[in-house]
Amino acid sequence: MLEQLKEEVFQANLDLPKHGLIKYTWGNVSVYDPETKYFVIKPSGVSYEEMKPSDMVVVDLENNVIEGDLNPSSDTPTHAVLYKAFPEVGGIVHTHSTWAAAWAQAGLDVPAMETTHADTFYGSVPCARFLTQKEIDDGYEHETGNAIVETFKKRGLKPLEVPGVLLHGHGPFTWGKDEHSAVMNAVVLDEVCKMNLLARQVNPFAEDLPQRVLDKHYLRKHGKNAYYGQK
């Protein structure tokens, strides 16, 4: 079942160490199939050196394993919540990449300070709150997804305009229309976190991008009159 999607998810997971986003097994990628309403995700705790496409696990949106001999990622319930809440999303990535995790530990949003940020994220990348004890007890990973959705609703954010979030004290989730864009957004988020931290060290009073510059760089790639790249 979904053999091609398993191969795609396997390759996308291999992209995480290739881009320096994970160490050991600290990350996962999933992809949603709108026809079956299932998603494919990396198995839990399996090393990238030993992992095979056939190890990928098919799961439904209620976290039931549809196919697979291994346990799915422990973050599976978070992915399921996001796919249900954000129907435009087709791929999700979670990592503990160093620079993004540093901002998550600080509990800070990632402001748009440079055009690299503005090319991908239309404004600050939010940092979601800590979970309560009750939420942890009720289902940590499921409630993590709910906290992300809550953050986007409260701030009026659109998931594909700001395709990522930090979890306070944890790390980043990113997403996109497919696994390729989700991985790319994870790379970009980690890089802009690094840039911002270095910029604030050089100048603690460094300003965020003016809205006019943010608009120009985001909309030239994503707006209805976008002109970046080839047709």
pLDDT, tens digit, for every residue of 2-48? 999 999 999 999 999 999 999 999 999 999 999 999 999 999 999 99
In this structure, what DSSP letter does residue 129 have? Answer: P
Q: Tell me the C-alpha to C-alpha distance, in Å, between residue 103 and each of 53, 59, 88, 167, 231.
A: 33, 31, 27, 9, 36
Where residue 230 falls among pLDDT bands split at 50, 70, 90? confident
Residue spans of the domains in the chain: they are 3-222
Question: How many secondary structure helices (H) and strands (E) does the chain include?
Answer: 7, 8
In this structure, what DSSP letter does residue 138 have? Answer: H
> Would you state the pLDDT for residue 223?
79
CA 91 to chain centre: 8
The helix (run of H) or strand (run of E) holding residue 12 is: helix 3-18
What is the pTM (predicted TM-score) of this model? 0.96
Tell me what the mean pLDDT of segment 171-192 comes to. 98
pLDDT tens digit sequence for 57-103? 999 999 999 999 999 999 999 999 999 999 999 999 999 999 999 99
> Would you state the pLDDT for residue 95?
98
> Would you state the pLDDT for residue 42?
97
> Would you state the pLDDT for residue 214?
97
**Residues whose CB is less than 8 angstroms from the CB of residue 80 and which lie 6 or more positions away in sequence, other chains included:** 39, 59, 61, 62, 63, 142, 145
Q: Residues 28, 41: contact at Cβ < 8 Å? A: yes
Tell me what the mean pLDDT of segment 171-199 comes to. 98
Catalytic site residues?
Answer: 119, 228
Query: What CATH code would you report for 3-222?
Result: 3.40.225.10
